[in-house]
Amino acid sequence: MIRTHLIDALRSALARSGVGPLPATIEIGRPARPEHGDWSTNVALVCARAAGRNPRDLAGELVEHISADPPAHLRTVEVAGPGFVNFFLDDGWLHDVLRQVVAEGTGGYARSDFGAGTAVNVEFVSANPTGPLHVGGGRWAAYGDSLCNILARCGFVPHREYYLNDRGRQMDAFAESLVARKQGAEPPTDGYHGDYISEWVAEMPDGADAREWGYARARRDVAESLARLGVTFDTWSSERALVDSGAVAATLETLEGRGATYRADGAVWLRIDGAPDVVGTSDSAAGDNRRGRGRRGAAGGAISPDAPDDGHRRPRPDPTTPGSDAARTAGDGSAGRGGDRVLVRSNGEPTYLLPDIAYHADKLARGFDLLIDVWGADHHGHVAPLTTGVCALGHRREQLEIVLGQLVTVMRGGAEAKISKRAGNLVLLDDLVDLVGADAARMTFLLQSLASRQTIDLDVAAAQSMENPVFYVQYAHARICSLMATAAERGTTRPPLEEVALDLLADPRELEVLRSLHALGDVLAEAARERAPQRLTTWARQLAGAFHGFYHDCPVLRSDIEPPLAAARLWLAEAARIGLVIALDLLGVTAPERMETLDRDATEGGAE
RNA sequence: GCCCCCGUAGCUCAGGGGACAGAGCAGGGGACUUCUAAUCCCAAGGCCGCAGGUUCGAAUCCUGCCGGGGGCGCCA
């Protein structure tokens, strides 16, 4: 609202100053320092060169024009620094924010439609169905689910999808491990050695097909763990079903027909161009240019602890050169023949790559405009082969966006807990949820950027869960609810907003809450564009902080507070509540009316 | 060797072209007869890894280096 008014004023001032053509977007922002006004713009700096003007002179001219025809709420406008134009407004613009928040409510405030109905398929977690989810899986789950929430609020139509690699070597090894344990033997060395294998085998009926039974068991386990975090999927896609449907064979045919493949060593290879990754490369249609985050797949964890991976791999027999391209290097770290990858092994079995290409083609065929994959950094080498394959089928690169995220490290007992589904020293997502609860777990995962490695210390999580910011934010919400309840008890009802004198809200603490609320729309748009839910977490903490400050300094129901002021403050609290509910809901965290843990601790404290 | 991510306060991390750099925790000092003190306030703490470059302006973009993590299979 206020922004468009100011931008309009700037635009006409620029026109009157003879600046043209006008810049595509006029940037206007809220400066960090109050001396720089309520709003500030750099247009004069940006336009000066092209207009052949001195930035400060141009800014001065803009100020004159704007002062002559001031937009609503303008008090003064001035030139500052190298040529900024700073606007100083009366508090009314913030009171307008309060009205808007209340009018639009939890369902409508800070909603936008720049997604324009884009159907976006977000694939995340996708851990192999060979065991329970470990802690790291929770990070992708929390990320993917909240990202979908945020996208939806910005006008996208998200679809949550989980891809099950339910065929191939890993499934074989899993089945073999179950069978071995069933017979009282050790699983094969490349099999799965976790305790859960023994536990699950105890449930497995005699005569059951270990592969089918184990798959169903694992899948159920994964779904239950995710549900505890509040994450559910619209679609669970099966790699095996895709193969059985013939889609994989058809994909291979198309790739071969388009000359994207060649045969060597009895295998079918996909030619990799060494093209840059989708992620971190130039732009998609939406103008996105972000770095990678995310992860996909199985055990993942901090390291790959399994034996053969120590950099001392036996030298492969040198690729002789049946194809034409053997000498080429891929430039992306993928190996194989100069970076090329096998689609079909010499034994006739497809690798995971071919079905994966077919799978992404299938998603696009289902009508999605955009695919977002959330993968772990340990799958980075798979980015180029997959995107190459998908593009070779004729799809646009911008349709597939792969978000790479750094892995989760778990500390326990002061040391790093190694995570390996196969080696058996799992730290399960369920363990974390048991320890801190679903809310704290989700908020913790969404505290930082996916591009940063996350360390979760289970001892800290268990012993000092109160340190978690989730409580700070939830407490703000609970305080508001408590305030409202007390008001009701005392018969202090909120008059209709139109009858309330909002201009009584002039305390810095009050205005800070409103400023924070105003920012939500921008924050959500940024979070959606950058695929960065942690921005919303940061905002929620900020709003909670602003509210706690208000609560501390601005009594509402105290006897010396005049009713008109009390009413205005109650409405302010209501607006803050709306903001907190929106944010917590998008983050997948509950907004409790009272803090149970606080009650409990108080009781315990009193007992001692 | 090549590819990706990270390097910001003692610790964990926000910020990711704008004007003197932000929070939590730890540590120092203060505020509860009051709407829940899981709160609030004050002080302290920084060559934003290093060096160049682009720009009116760089923690932010580019290049190189250093340090940490990950990846480089006819595993997924």
Digit-coded pLDDT (tens) for A551-592:
999 999 998 999 999 999 999 999 999 999 999 999 999 999
Tokens of A430: 């369920």
Instruction: Return the CATH superfamily for domain A2-90.
Output: Arginyl tRNA synthetase N-terminal domain (3.30.1360.70)
Among A80-84, A216-220, A341-345, A421-425, the range scoring the smallest mean pLDDT is A421-425
Residue A283 has pLDDT above 60, yes or no: no
- % of chain A residues with pLDDT over 90: 73
- In the structure, how far is the CA atom of residue A21 from the C1' atom of nucleotide B55, in angstroms? 22
Instruction: Match domain A468-607 to its CATH number in 3.10.450.50, 3.90.1510.10, 2.60.40.10, 1.10.730.10.
Output: 1.10.730.10
> Is the CB of A308 less than 7 A from some atom of nucleic acid strand B?
yes
Residue A448's alpha-carbon distances to A142, A410, A445, A463, A537, in angstroms, are 12, 15, 7, 21, 8
Residue A420: the pLDDT is 63
Residue A297's alpha-carbon distances to A127, A156, A163, in angstroms, are 4, 26, 9
> Could you read off the pLDDT of A377-413 as tens digits, one per residue?
999 999 999 999 999 999 999 999 999 999 998 888 7
Pairwise CA distance, residues A140 & A497, whole Å: 42
> Is the CB of A43 less than 7 A from some atom of nucleic acid strand B?
no
> Could you read off the pLDDT of A162-194 as tens digits, one per residue?
999 998 888 999 999 999 999 999 999 889 988
A412, A462 contact by CB (below 8 A): no
Residue A19 half-sphere exposure toward CB, CA atoms < 13 A: 29
**Side chain identity at A293, as an amino acid letter?**
R
> Is the CB of A555 less than 7 A from some atom of nucleic acid strand B?
yes
> Is the CB of A326 less than 7 A from some atom of nucleic acid strand B?
no
> Is the CB of A331 less than 7 A from some atom of nucleic acid strand B?
yes
| Nucleotide in closest CA–C1' contact with A383 | B4
Residue A567's alpha-carbon distances to A284, A490, A492, A499, in angstroms, are 49, 13, 8, 9
If one counts every other C-beta atom within 10 angstroms of the C-beta of residue A31, the result is: 16
Instruction: Match domain A124-262+273-311+352-462 to its CATH number in 3.40.50.300, 3.40.50.620, 3.90.870.10, 3.40.50.970.
Output: 3.40.50.620
| Nucleotide in closest CA–C1' contact with A486 | B35
Residue whose tokens read 């606080």: A598
Pairwise CA distance, residues A553 & A608, whole Å: 32
For A56, residues 6+ apart whose C-beta sits below 8 A from its C-beta are A44, A79, A82, A83
Of A120, A113, A116, residue with least CA distance to A159: A120
Residue A56 has pLDDT above 50, yes or no: yes
Looking at every residue in chain A, the average pLDDT score rounds to: 86
| Nucleotide in closest CA–C1' contact with A41 | B18
Pairwise CA distance, residues A49 & A39, whole Å: 23
Among A183-197, A458-472, A589-603, the range scoring the smallest mean pLDDT is A589-603
From the number of C-beta atoms within 10 Å of its C-beta (0-12, 13-18, 19+), residue A204 rates as: middle
Comparing A20 with A603, which gets the higher pLDDT? A20
Pairwise CA distance, residues A286 & A263, whole Å: 38
Residue A290: the pLDDT is 28
Domains A124-262+273-311+352-462 and A468-607 fall in the same CATH topology:
no
Among A272-286, A357-371, A380-394, A453-467, the range scoring the smallest mean pLDDT is A272-286
For A202, residues 6+ apart whose C-beta sits below 8 A from its C-beta are none
Q: In which band, very low, low, confident or very high, does the pLDDT at A321 lie, cut at 50, 70 and 90?
A: very low
Q: In which band, very low, low, confident or very high, does the pLDDT at A512 lie, cut at 50, 70 and 90?
A: very high
Comparing A20 with A325, which gets the higher pLDDT? A20
3-state secondary structure A507-552: CHHHHHHHHHHHHHHHHHHHHHHCCCCHHHHHHHHHHHHHHHHHHH
Comparing A286 with A541, which gets the higher pLDDT? A541
Q: Which positions on chain B have an atom < 7 Å from some protein CB?
A: 1-7, 12-16, 18-25, 34-41, 56-57, 68-76
Residue A310 has pLDDT above 90, yes or no: no
- In the structure, how far is the CA atom of residue A291 from the C1' atom of nucleotide B5, in angstroms? 9
Q: Tell me what the mean pLDDT of segment A34-62 comes to.
A: 91
> Is the CB of A492 less than 7 A from some atom of nucleic acid strand B?
no
Which residues numbered 81-120 in chain A sit less than 7 A from strand B, measured from CB? 81-84, 86
- In the structure, how far is the CA atom of residue A501 from the C1' atom of nucleotide B34, in angstroms? 25
Tokens of A575: 């607006």
Pairwise CA distance, residues A184 & A171, whole Å: 20
- In the structure, how far is the CA atom of residue A308 from the C1' atom of nucleotide B2, in angstroms? 20
Residue A314 has pLDDT above 50, yes or no: no
Domain residue ranges of chain A, discontinuous segments joined by +: 2-90, 124-262+273-311+352-462, 468-607
| Nucleotide in closest CA–C1' contact with A464 | B25
A38, A87 contact by CB (below 8 A): yes
DSSP A193: -
Pairwise CA distance, residues A135 & A293, whole Å: 17
Pairwise CA distance, residues A293 & A104, whole Å: 33
Rg (Cα) of chain A, in Å, rounded?
Answer: 29
Pairwise CA distance, residues A352 & A350, whole Å: 6
- In the structure, how far is the CA atom of residue A464 from the C1' atom of nucleotide B75, in angstroms? 40
Of A451, A447, A579, residue with least CA distance to A521: A579
